[in-house]
Amino acid sequence: MNGLRALRWAVFLVAGLSFPIEAALDYMLKPRKVAPDTYVFVGLAEDFSRGNGGNIVNTGFIVTADGVVVIDTGSSRLYGEQMRRAIAAVTDKPIRQVLITHHHPDHFFGNQGFRDLPIAALSGSIGGMKEEGVGFADNLYRMAGDWMRETEPLAATQEARPGRSTIGGHDIELIELKGHTQADLVVLDHTSGVLFAGDLVFWQRAATTPHASIADWLGSLDRLQALKWKTIVPGHGEPHADTRGIEQTRRYLAWLDATLRKAAAEGRDMPDLLQMKLPQEFADIPLVREEFARSITHLYPGFEQRALAGGGKS
């Protein structure tokens, strides 16, 4: 037994003392119909915890005449398996394709539940899954405990190719963008008008930035706003039929960029930034204080380096 596996079994043994057996670990996944043939499992506006098991992300699926297209697989093996059963309760059509929007663990750690199917992601996301998956797993076992039992980071097996194709009567376009990560896949169903935006869009849940480029992200939001769609499914937050998620994400990122840029120019240190008051517009968004602190850790050293070098983009 290798060291990583031994560590995980130790986590299971400790978690088992105070948490229920797997049969009681139920994500209560209920598909919400957002358009004809199109369903979303809406996650909680929370961080990973032993209370929610990582049910914090939006995943979804499109039922076409030729089979089902799945978008993201959730946070654990158990989530993926329960998601697959929930899909089967809606349709008896086979799953044809699984698409992963990016390499963050809440979006692809359910891949084991679909391991017998084609799972596609952008090349950069596949690399991230392989390079960072084990580290993600160690952290999530600590945060979510028994919900993660037997979860292993399974990378996508196929490279998603941007462009339009017809699947079972649905005109589906895969769009390659970046900003939240260096490889953000967006799925636009031109037939239903539903845009699965992944974590390029957050609505009423603070944006996360561990792999972010704010300049690229803002450019991608402009691209999303220019597309023709009827309903947007953010990576986190309620689906909606207008641009409120794009606009809130854009305003927050613009404020974050300006704040960190100004602080770096003034030579302020991280502890000082952590104490600053947040604008009222963002102060009540769930997890904004926690994510702002994380963003300082993720992004501020780069701002400081650029300030010392005399400028540059975020």
d(CA 182, CA 84): 28
Quick check: is 230 in a domain? yes
Quick check: is 13 in a domain? yes
CA angle 212, 300, 204 (to 5 degrees): 50
Residue 225 pLDDT grade (very low, low, confident, very high; cuts 50, 70, 90): very high
Maximal CA-CA distance, the chain: 61
Quick check: is 125 in a domain? yes
d(CA 209, CA 206): 10
pLDDT for 24 equals 85
Mean pLDDT to the nearest integer, 246-252: 98
pLDDT for 224 equals 98
183: containing domain = 3-243
Quick check: is 56 in a domain? yes
pLDDT for 22 equals 53
Asked if residue 119 lies in contact with residue 156, where contact means CB atoms within 8 angstroms, the answer is yes
Write the DSSP assignment of 71-101 as a string of letters.
Answer: E---SSHHHHHHHHHHHHHH--SPEEEEE--
pLDDT for 98 equals 98
Could you read off the pLDDT of 94-151 as tens digits, one per residue?
999 999 999 999 999 999 999 999 999 999 999 999 999 999 999 999 999 999 999 9
Residue type for position 161: R
Asked if residue 175 lies in contact with residue 193, where contact means CB atoms within 8 angstroms, the answer is no
d(CA 165, CA 69): 12
Quick check: is 284 in a domain? no
Asked if residue 227 lies in contact with residue 193, where contact means CB atoms within 8 angstroms, the answer is no
d(CA 87, CA 215): 37
Average pLDDT, the chain: 93
pLDDT for 8 equals 47
Instruction: Give the chain's domain count.
Output: 1
Residues of the chain above pLDDT 90, percent: 90
pLDDT for 14 equals 42
For the range 281-284, what are the long-range contacts, defined as Cβ-Cβ under 8 Å and sequence gap of 24 or more?
281/251, 282/206, 282/252, 282/255
Residue 312 pLDDT grade (very low, low, confident, very high; cuts 50, 70, 90): low
Residue 314 pLDDT grade (very low, low, confident, very high; cuts 50, 70, 90): low
Could you read off the pLDDT of 50-106 as tens digits, one per residue?
999 999 999 999 999 999 999 999 999 999 999 999 999 999 999 999 999 999 999
pLDDT for 6 equals 45
Nearest to 80 by CA among 136, 24, 132, 153: 153
d(CA 304, CA 298): 12
Q: Locate 108 and state its tokens.
A: 């692809």
Quick check: is 227 in a domain? yes
Quick check: is 79 in a domain? yes
- CATH number, domain of 16, equals 3.60.15.10
Among the residue ranges 9-18, 84-93, 183-192, the one predicted with the least confidence is 9-18
pLDDT for 230 equals 98
Mean pLDDT to the nearest integer, 227-238: 98
Mean pLDDT to the nearest integer, 37-56: 97
Could you read off the pLDDT of 19-37 as tens digits, one per residue?
444 558 999 999 999 999 9
Quick check: is 285 in a domain? no
The H or E element spanning position 271 is: helix 270-274
More confident residue, 45 or 17: 45
